[in-house]
Amino acid sequence: MRLRFFLSLGALLAATATAHAHDYQLGELHIGQPFARPSVPGQTSGAAYLSIENRGKTGDKLIGAASPAARAVEIHTMSMEGNLMKMREAGEVAIAPSQKIVMQPGQGYHLMLLGLKQPLKAGDKLPLTLNFEKAGKTEVSVLVQDKDARAATMQEAGANQGQQQGMHHGH
């Protein structure tokens, strides 16, 4: 019984790792695992997350993004101010040499998808064009996925979902 549990857990983890392994290289920039969460009914905005690692010797900046799935994509940042999670438009993300930016729900940067053309459902893939100041543009595929073990971090558990969504209505 116990052995079978470990075996099936191992198989599940292997399958999960394979399914999520979609990374992109643009010059010296390594872009990892773009994903978004399913939208809740009535919600016309969503957020996409990915990681950007600068493996080069010069800094670069993410200065914009666009997707046919949304009216506009903005670069936002979230931070705790007292007990409140505040979101604001950052406009750009600077990535210094050797720096890795990891976007994740609940804190730091995210790519705000404004005016979704249709709800985001688990399993969907959205094309997203990233525009970097030096490296130029590249298109990545954003996978819509439910919360999983990888993303269910302490930060996300600690974030107040209601307040975040309340902020998004402001758009």
Smallest separation, CB 91 to Cu ion (Å): 12
Distance (Å, whole) CA 123 – CA 121: 6
Residue 69 has a CB neighbour count (10 Å cut-off) of 22
Site string for Cu ion, 11-40 (x = CB under 5 A): ------------------------------
User: Does residue number 112 form part of the binding site for Cu ion (CB under 5 A)?
Assistant: yes
Distance (Å, whole) CA 108 – CA 95: 14
8/79 with CB nearer Cu ion: 79
37/76 with CB nearer Cu ion: 76
User: Does residue number 87 form part of the binding site for Cu ion (CB under 5 A)?
Assistant: yes
Please tell me the chain's helix, strand, coil percentages from 3-state DSSP, rounded to the nearest 5. 20, 45, 35
Among 76, 93, 126, 143, binds Cu ion (CB under 5 A): 76
Cβ-contact 91, 47 below 8 angstroms? no
- Residue ranges binding Cu ion (CB under 5 A): 76, 87, 112
